[in-house]
Amino acid sequence: MDLTQQAGILGTGAYLASDLALLLYIFMLVPAMLVGFSFARRHLFVPHHKFTMTAITIINWIIIILLMLVTYRNAVAPNVPRELNRLPFLIPVLHGITGGLAQIIATVLVLRMWLEPSLPRVLRFEPIKPWMRLTLGLWLVTAVLGIAMYVTWNIAGQPPVPSTEINATVEPGIEPTGEVEPTASVEGTADASADVDSTPDAAPPAEVEATVEATPAQ
């Protein structure tokens, strides 16, 4: 079953994959990010923070690969940078930038957590606290942009349709001058009138003169 083509469950017109991703972020991933941050503040790094951070990063990669990359490639990328002055295209681009940075940093930090004993000091990102806070901030900004994109596309009724397609409703070759050109029916009527006028209602003048001459004088 292709979730990107199935009807959604929130009644907004979005596909099922978009609805599930939205609910997953609001009720699972964002709370998990805040819980993981709480674990780090209380120095509960292993296993609490380590497992929470790893799970969030893996789930994020799954959503990015199966949904976000496909949506961006099909609906957004062909219209960038031409349509960046419109929210339906600007928001996904910002969402991709912040989300991409957050995911790359998070992946590096997760690898550091699992491989730390074997990593040289230069690859341990020490001190790690600023990197963790940066990752959380980027993740939260990305989540807000994702919600804004969902609302813009599916609730506000502004799907990512290029402006060139919106303006294509005027048929090419027709100038909006307000002048009305004669139609074929009018021309046909004029031609028919000409045919009627050309039909002789009376005898030609030559025949009239010949009739007068043949009549005997009284």
Q: What is the pLDDT of residues 46-65, one digit of tens each?
A: 999 999 999 999 999 999 99
Half-sphere exposure of 52 (CA within 13 A, CB side): 21
**Does the residue 176 lie in any domain?**
no
**Does the residue 56 lie in any domain?**
yes
Rounded to an integer, what is the distance from CA 206 to the centroid of its chain? Answer: 81
State the chain's mean pLDDT as an integer. 81
Quick one: pLDDT band at residue 162, thresholds 50, 70, 90? confident
d(C-alpha 60, C-alpha 180), whole Å? 60
**Does the residue 211 lie in any domain?**
no
**Long-range own/partner contacts, residues 24-28 (CB < 8 A, 24 or more apart):** 24/59, 24/63, 25/143, 25/146, 25/147, 26/143, 26/147, 28/59
Q: How many residues does the chain have?
A: 218
Domain that includes residue 49, residue range:
16-163
**Does the residue 48 lie in any domain?**
yes
Closest CA to 3 of 13, 18, 23, 24: 18
Count how many domains the chain has.
1
**Does the residue 4 lie in any domain?**
no
**Residue of higher predicted confidence among 70 and 187:** 70
CB 123 within 8 A of CB 112: yes
Which residues does residue 7 pair with via DSSP β-bridges, in sequence order? Answer: 15
Catalogue the E-assigned strands of the chain.
none
Quick one: pLDDT band at residue 189, thresholds 50, 70, 90? very low
| pTM metric for this prediction | 0.73
Q: What is the pLDDT of residues 111-161, one digit of tens each?
A: 999 988 787 777 778 888 999 999 999 999 999 999 999 999 999 988 888
d(C-alpha 26, C-alpha 160), whole Å? 23
**Does the residue 156 lie in any domain?**
yes
Quick one: pLDDT band at residue 33, thresholds 50, 70, 90? very high
Q: pLDDT value at position 28?
A: 95
**Does the residue 2 lie in any domain?**
no
For residue 24, what is the enclosing H or E element?
A: helix 16-24
SS3 192: helix
For residue 115, what is the enclosing H or E element?
A: helix 87-115
Rounded to an integer, what is the distance from CA 108 to the centroid of its chain? Answer: 31
